[in-house]
Amino acid sequence: MENSSFTTEEITEGLFRFIDNSPTAFHAVQNAARMLEEAGYKKIVCETAAGIRAGGRYYATRNDSALIAFRIPAGKMKGLRIAASHSDSPCFKVKETPEMDVEGHYVKLNTEGYGGMIMSTWLDRPLSVAGRAILMENGRPVTKLVNIDRDLCIIPNVAIHFNREINKGFAYNPQVDLLPLYGGVNPEASSENEEENKGKLKKKSLKALCAESLGVSEEDILASDLYLYTREKGRRMGVDGEFIVSPRLDDLQCAYGTLAGFLAADNGKKSEKGAKKEAQGEYGAVYALFDNEEIGSRTKQGADSTFLSDVIQCICDALELSGSARRDLLAGSFLLSADNAHGVHPNHPEKSDPTNRPYLNGGIVLKFQGSQKYTTDAYSAAVVRNICKEQGVPCQNFANRADVAGGSTLGNISSAHVSIPAADIGLAQLAMHSALETAGVKDTEYLVRLCQGLFL
């Protein structure tokens, strides 16, 4: 899509569809792959350069939960432009053998926390279960995505009558307070004989429910990775609809925005600017969607893996770039790490740095930290600000207060494996790691435009 075709409404609706259809990292990768295939990208095995050609468009997946797409210019390639984000969000993972009987009257699910969520926000909301199941087909394991697409579970609060001090603060025990209610007694059980009712729980296990949704037998499912997700859909809010509220904005807002910009730049190559750049030599374009950022990225599908370097090596092998030629390619490359940023909170503005204060709808947020947990430096900040200027996109800054410990994200981890200049950016949001998060309606569009400029 050309830059002139962008509208806030179209991008926002596209974002909401992407998030709604991506209750887990597995689904986010499936949806990204669908968008890429519709744009003509071909799936490859990233361990081999077979089939990769100059002028081609390709993507590879790992663990069904991470994806890297790339396109190679037909002519001279002078470097790579890379945009990275992550597919996972804080939630609850369902444990093996999850059903737990409660006094013969209820069934709850045994779960554990994934990532650093705001636990209280998950209570008293409609929840369901999604993820992947592994089956055997023709002697090999095959992934099937699961989504029990209905209101299935709830984590009920304890009534205030039983905890009069709850509004003064409460420490939730995830093994006690945060297990979701899954089912109850069989509705056909006689209510007149309580002794007979005991044990007459709904017999359908979660595994059986997953099998039913896939149209297979329960015995066909050998293993699964299942997660709770909140059932709320994204929506616009504010007196003029200037805010968006949705689950999983961190980091699916960036995952969608960078992909939309990646694809828009491909469509815009026929522009005058694109033709001029082609004559001077073009950049290869890379879109990376890593998993497990919320738990440290140290997995085979995370940013702290060989996934990105393996794909780059495949590109170099296919183009017969080795030794100094590969080093020259990397020297001309740039990484944009996109993961949402903390906006100034309307009720607690004192939590933000005195002078680096990003606001919702204020544009791209450049993230800085002296310890380099955010990898932005003067050089990479200048590159991003210049692209923002060219694209007419506002740019603002984030830094932690010096007396508050901050987090980290993909940039410094990825650039430790592939040593190229990198900048950490994000979109300002509120309530990061809540079951529902709030962001600015204009900022997704700004990210799309930034990435279109990066990849042109």
Q: Are residues 112 and 139 in the same domain?
A: yes
Q: Is residue 241 part of a domain?
A: no
Q: Are residues 301 and 346 in the same domain?
A: yes
Q: Could you identify the residue written with the tokens 């179209």? A: 10
Q: Please state the φ and ψ torsions of residue 16, each to the nearest 5 degrees.
A: -60, -40
Average pLDDT of span 426-438: 98
Q: Are residues 81 and 105 in the same domain?
A: no
| Domain end residue (candidates: 172, 196, 230) | 230
Average pLDDT of span 338-353: 97
The token pair that represents 449 in the structure block: 């435009």
What is the side-by-side order of every strand in the sheet holding 106-114? 140-147, 127-137, 221-230, 91-102, 106-114, 181-184
Q: Are residues 409 and 447 in the same domain?
A: yes
Whole-prediction pTM:
0.93
Q: Are residues 295 and 251 in the same domain?
A: yes
pLDDT at 195: 59
Q: Which residues pair with 130 in a beta bridge?
A: 147, 227
Tell me the chain's radius of gyration from C-alpha atoms.
Answer: 24
pLDDT at 194: 58
Q: Are residues 270 and 164 in the same domain?
A: no
Q: Which domain holds residue 418?
A: 3-89+247-455
Q: Is residue 27 part of a domain?
A: yes
Q: How many CB atoms lie within 10 A of CB 355?
A: 7
| Identity at 438, one-letter amino acid code | T
Share of the chain above pLDDT 90, in %: 83
- Cα angle 171, 172, 177; round to 5: 150
Closest to 33 measured CA to CA, from 84, 82, 83, 67? 67
Q: Are residues 190 and 320 in the same domain?
A: no
| Domain end residue (candidates: 230, 264, 283) | 230
- The CATH number given to whatever domain includes residue 315 is 3.40.630.10
Average pLDDT of span 104-119: 96
Residue bearing the bigger pLDDT, 351 or 276 = 351
Beta carbons of 196 and 189 less than 8 angstroms apart:
yes
pLDDT at 192: 56
pLDDT at 441: 98
Q: Is residue 242 part of a domain?
A: no
Look at residue 3 and tell me whether its pLDDT is greater than 60. no
Please write the tens of the pLDDT for every residue from 7-38.
999 999 999 999 999 999 999 999 999 999 99
**Average pLDDT across the chain, whole number:** 92
Residues in the chain: 456
Q: Are residues 253 and 342 in the same domain?
A: yes
**How far, rounded to the nearest angstrom, does the alpha carbon of residue 124 sit from its chain's CA centroid?**
24
Q: Is residue 239 part of a domain?
A: no
Please write the tens of the pLDDT for every residue from 138-163.
889 999 999 999 999 999 999 999 99
pLDDT at 1: 39
Residue bearing the bigger pLDDT, 198 or 360 = 360
Please give the tally of structural domains in the chain.
2
Q: How far apart are the C-alpha atoms of 271 and 263, rounded to whole Å?
A: 14
Look at residue 386 and tell me whether its pLDDT is greater than 90. yes
pLDDT at 6: 74
Q: Which of 173-182, 192-201, 247-256, 421-430 has the lowest mean pLDDT?
A: 192-201
* Axis crossing angle, helix 324-331 with helix 307-318, rounded to the nearest 10: 120
Beta carbons of 373 and 408 less than 8 angstroms apart:
yes
Q: How far apart are the C-alpha atoms of 370 and 390, rounded to whole Å?
A: 28
pLDDT at 272: 47
Please write the tens of the pLDDT for every residue from 32-57.
999 999 999 999 988 777 889 999 99
Q: Which of 77-86, 178-187, 417-426 has the lowest mean pLDDT?
A: 178-187
| Domain end residue (candidates: 205, 230, 255) | 230
Based on the number of CB atoms within 10 Å of its own CB, is 444 exposed (0-12), middle (13-18) or buried (19 or more)?
buried
Average pLDDT of span 338-358: 97
Q: Are residues 314 and 423 in the same domain?
A: yes
Beta carbons of 395 and 363 less than 8 angstroms apart:
yes
